[in-house]
Amino acid sequence: MRKLILPDKSEREFDEKLTVYDIIGEISKGLQREAVGALLNGKTLGMQDVPGEDGEFKILKFEDKEGKQIFWHTSAHLMALAIERMFPGVKFAIGPSIDQGFYYDFDTPHRFTPEDLLNIEEEMKKIVKEGYEMERYEMDRDEAIKHFKEMDEKYKVDLIEHFPEGEVISFYKLGEFVDLCRGPHLKDVSKIKAVKLLSIAGAYWRGDENNEMLQRIYGITFPKKSELDSYLNMIEEAKLRDHRKIGKELDLFSFHEEGPGFPFFHPNGMIVRNELLNWWRGVLQERGYGEILTPMILNEELWHKSGHWDHYKENMYFTKIDDADYAIKPMNCPGSTIVYRTNLHSYKEFPLRLSEFGLVHRHELSGALHGLFRVRSFTQDDAHIFCLPEQIEDEVFKMIDLADYLYSTFGFKYTLELSTRPDDYMGDLETWEMAEGALKAALEKKNMPYKINPGDGAFYGPKIDFHLQDAIGRDWQCGTIQLDMQMPVNFDLTYIDANNERKRPVMLHRAMFGSIERFLGILIEHFAGKFPLWMAPVQVEVIPVSEKTNEYAQKVYEELKNKGFRVEIDTRNSQMGAKIRDAQMRKINYMLILGEKERDNGSISVRTRNNENINDIKLDKFMEDLSEEIKEKRMDL
């Protein structure tokens, strides 16, 4: 019998041959109608899967993150069946779920068009009405390769040939379409009530530009049409907020073919970036951090010692100096250990908190690059805390509080995930279990709700990940707290304890922004380019109504500039309405409209970018209010 612990902590036994679908049916027929899969000890199972162990069992619905992945993975098969029917001879590559929907890569001489997408949608809806179930079965390796060779499906053959020895070769059949797939899946496609195919793109097989160029179709599905309508509305809003579009309009940053994936920040972008980092430096200083800066290039031997060579080499860039091998750092942690071991440390110094805004480089496939969200060079707001084992919990508490302060400052809601030991890990199981237990205990003692993200920890330790929700409900993974017992061993880090003996410190890694570039991209979209006053590249635009008030406008401009405000003046020979529209397009916080009345009264009239007006006030009072708004770091938009 299979012993399962349900979310209410009750324990029930089930026949060990039952599928997830059957188990949920025994628990509740009502839940069976809503369920899309289950979690067993944090691992996602589809409705056809048979639980292979005892443990904690949670029923998944579409609302759950893992539930959406099951739903969208099944939808990729649904789209593939529709395309197989409509375009005979197409070759199938891969079709995974992604954060927002799914895609499938196809090899066919036919060039897909937007009109094709509409027709494929209709065919998918017809298939849903036909009521097919997802049927799972297995083959041995040789049989599976033979099967796909006979079907002339070379991409499936390639996938199987790269599977590790002993890998279970599983298939899922939907109608007449049979696909190589690990799952997990819905029991059938009847729950897929709303379908939208979003776009067509090119993609190299295995992301390698030396391989075939395939056609990729992106799509998304929902159990209700109203949910699809809400999503499409969000997409339209997201287009208006696209940080790449706004970045160009506000002259914040750019990308160029001379360095694909390497962002170029312009003066306006550097103002936003520097204001953010200067504020954060002050926050860290108040909390006992000392700032360091470590080299961007370090010798290859270091990366062998740190474990990156064995566990992260494919993501790194390399170079030579004086015929010796060096690597461009993908992470800041090894440099921090070198700073630590420069001096002999006492337990009395702990916790020792070292922060670093470190520029790192990581190799990303060209197809994965996306504005500031996924780049090949970025700055991490890293920190490494060296502490005693008994200080771990308190330091994790402080980091959670620090993250909460950061995200709440900008109005972000967030959720937490505990990411556990990956397959490619460094160290011994006992140490990993202790580290995972310490993070789990800290979260529970702090009373922080969290989800388990199995197998997604760093190769050197488990981590707590922070997922932000922006103004239109999109999720972004940013902050992380990592507990590392391995790096201190690899670099032989020690301290002198109360008995004057050498002991090994614990090392905590943390980044709250994560990538400064990604966080800036999120902020740009969150604010739709309407930065709070303290971050804005241009805070005030002085607009004379006519040439008669240019001299007065220049005087106002000089006073604002001398007080340290970021101010511009528009003395172009243009209509006032055009000047105001231009300032609003550049999302400038305040426009000072100066006509003859204001000149004669020695006053100003203020117009906000949201078309609010304040007439006939004194400049000194306006500057006093601005100074207060900046000092308080208000988030008024």
Cis link prior to 184 (omega < 30° from 0)?
Answer: yes
Nearest to 12 by CA among 25, 1, 21: 1
Q: Rounded CA gap, 104 and 285, in Å?
A: 48
The DSSP bridge partners found for residue 502 are 496
Give the Cα separation of 341 and 492 in Å (integer): 9
Annotated catalytic residue 509 = yes
Q: List the beta bridge partners of residue 326.
A: 299, 319
Judge whether 575 counts as a catalytic residue.
no
Per the rule left: phi > 0, alpha: psi between -120 and 50, beta: everything else, 325 is beta
Is 384 a known active-site residue?
yes
Q: How many whole angstroms separate alpha carbon 219 and alpha carbon 104?
A: 9
491 vs 297, 308, 497, CA distance in Å?
A: 18, 13, 18
Q: Residue 102 burial (CB < 10 Å; 0-12/13-18/19+)?
A: buried
Region for 572 from its dihedrals, namely left if φ exceeds 0, alpha if ψ lies in -120 to 50, beta otherwise: beta
Q: Is 362 left (phi over 0), alpha (psi -120 to 50) or beta?
A: beta
Catalytic residue among 509, 526, 587, 599: 509
- How far apart, in whole angstroms, are the C-alpha atoms of residue 298 and residue 339? 13
Q: How far apart are the first and last CA of the chain?
A: 59
CB contact set of 259 (below 8 Å; sequence gap of 6+)? none
CA distance 87 to 123: 12
- Biggest CA-to-CA distance, the chain: 91
Q: Please state the separation of Cα 66 from the chain's center in Å.
A: 16
Give the active site residue among 73, 384, 398, 510: 384
Using CA atoms, how far apart are residues 539 and 245, in angstroms rounded to an integer?
A: 21
| CA gap 333, 592 in Å, rounded | 48
- Residue 311 labeled ligand binder: no
Catalytic residue among 32, 48, 380, 391: 380
Ranges of H-type helices in 151-295 = 154-161, 225-241, 243-249, 267-286
Structure tokens at 360: 């790192």
**Number of other CB atoms surrounding residue 253 within 10 Å:** 24
Measured distance CA(544)–CA(599) in Å, rounded: 10
Q: How many other β-carbons are positioned within 10 Å of the β-carbon of residue 561?
A: 15
Question: What is the pairing mode between strands 55-60 and 2-5?
Answer: parallel
Active site residue 149: no
Catalytic, 474? Answer no
**Distance, CA of 282 to CA of 298 (rounded, Å):** 29
Q: Is 509 annotated as a binding residue?
A: yes
Instruction: Please pick, among 32, 68, 333, 421, the residue that the annotation labels catalytic.
Output: 333
Q: Please give the helix or strand (H or E) that residue 326 lies within, else none.
A: strand 324-328
Question: Using CB atoms within 10 A of its CB, is residue 632 exposed (0-12), middle (13-18) or buried (19+)?
Answer: exposed
Residue 185 annotated as part of some ligand binding site: no
Distance, in Å, from the CA atom of 320 to the CA atom of 612, rounded to the nearest integer, reads: 59
Classify residue 407 by its DSSP letter: H
The phi and psi torsions of 630 (rounded to 5 degrees) equal -70, -45
Phi-psi region at 611: left, alpha or beta (left = phi > 0; alpha = psi -120 to 50): left
- Distance between CA 329 and CA 348 in Å, rounded? 31
Known catalytic residue: 382? yes
Q: Annotated binding residues for Zn(2+), as ranges?
A: 333, 384, 509
Residues acting as catalytic residues? 333, 362, 380, 382, 384, 463, 509
